[in-house]
Chains A and B, each alone.
Chain A
Amino acid sequence: MSDPIIEVKDISFSYGKTPILKKASLTIFKGEFIAIFGPNGGGKTTLLNLLMGFLKQEEGSISVLGKLPKNARGEIGYVPQFAKFDKQFPISVFELVLSGAVKECTWWGSYPQKVKDRAHKALEKVSLSHLKDESFGTLSGGQAQRVLIARALVSSPQILLLDEPIASVDAKSEKEIYDLLLTLKGSMTILMVTHDLEPLLDKADRLLCVRKTVSSLLPKEACGHYSMGLYHEPIKLI
């Protein structure tokens, strides 16, 4: 195994008096494809926000690429669910992908040609170049989700975080998103939050079950109970 790219040690976090994570620890290695699952309110999205430095843990430590999460943000690509965006927002697919590199705008506010080239390549990668002038709001759920992945890729991140990208997409789009993630596997570290573990069992290197604490298991250790929403500690075979 290569060097750890993310190290989380004994972190605790709560919203007010409601504990979300308690003494949670995990280690992620470079190039791994990790599926994160667990019950609602178990701390999956909170964990992603802690890794991006948007939240601060109450105790414990987090290291991303050897730095504090806040200082490693430039190396992280983040893909939220498409459904949280306003469908009527007047932005084209290409403008949206470019916004993934807004920090690289020149002092007079335009995107350099190299950023535009990267945006074209990111759209090619997600097979949506032909829709670059379309409005984001007119896309199907699967297309919109792939555009958000292209936006995350345009800054060439080392770590890609995806928050339930297959929620609210049809079966065909789900397969397209998984195929896309498989082409990215190995070239960057991928952490994907999901409620549907089954399709990831033959794709992910490891699974992380987040329910206040974090348990790591191999896909072969996944239990059928998980698909029924019954999350328990992995049962180790003797």
Chain B
Amino acid sequence: MNSREEILGAIRRSLGRGELPADARAECAARLDRHDENLVPERARSLSPRERVELFVKMAEAVNATVARVKSAKDAPGAVADYLAGLNLPPAVVAAPDPALDDLDWSAKPLLEVRQGAVGDNDPAAAVTPCFAAVAETGTLMLLSGGTRPTRNNFLPDTHIVVLRRDQVVAAYEDGFARLRAAGPDMPRTVNFITGPSRTADIEQKIELGVHGPRRLHIVLIDDGAR
């Protein structure tokens, strides 16, 4: 007998039964198909869309993310350039070659060096990525991997800039999952929930930002809601 069968057999022996009866199996399968929500806290669910965006910003800032609000996508490249200049960071970005960023007109900022693709191994540029959704409850961004969205761009650079549109802000993780299921039948390889920049408290419980992932997480919030 192989280890798989031995382990499953040991589980059944401990539970004092053989294989789960057919009706119980059907019940479990139905539970997976329904994927019902459990209790979702009121904190974000009870809010209007406008208030949800405000809660998202408040929660994200509470964990050391920064947020710049712009009226429309045409203002986003300027917000990126201003952010980098304000911190004396190199005026260089690597933008994900994703259709969600197509309406960002980088030519408006000729002094900003813009490349498209994946960030290099020791790349000094900031990464600009889209996101799939943002969860107001805890100020959490939800990003998906894909052909135009390298996951490494979310983790390798010192500075991660995320472009978020107002209508992407949802109340709870469960709302993000619902949008994910609506987008297609298959899970992406990686779903990243990101709440603030990288941090550690491993040395004497003192919090330090940017230990392996980005030192800075900046969110450019496009407020017109359109996509």
Partners in one complex: no
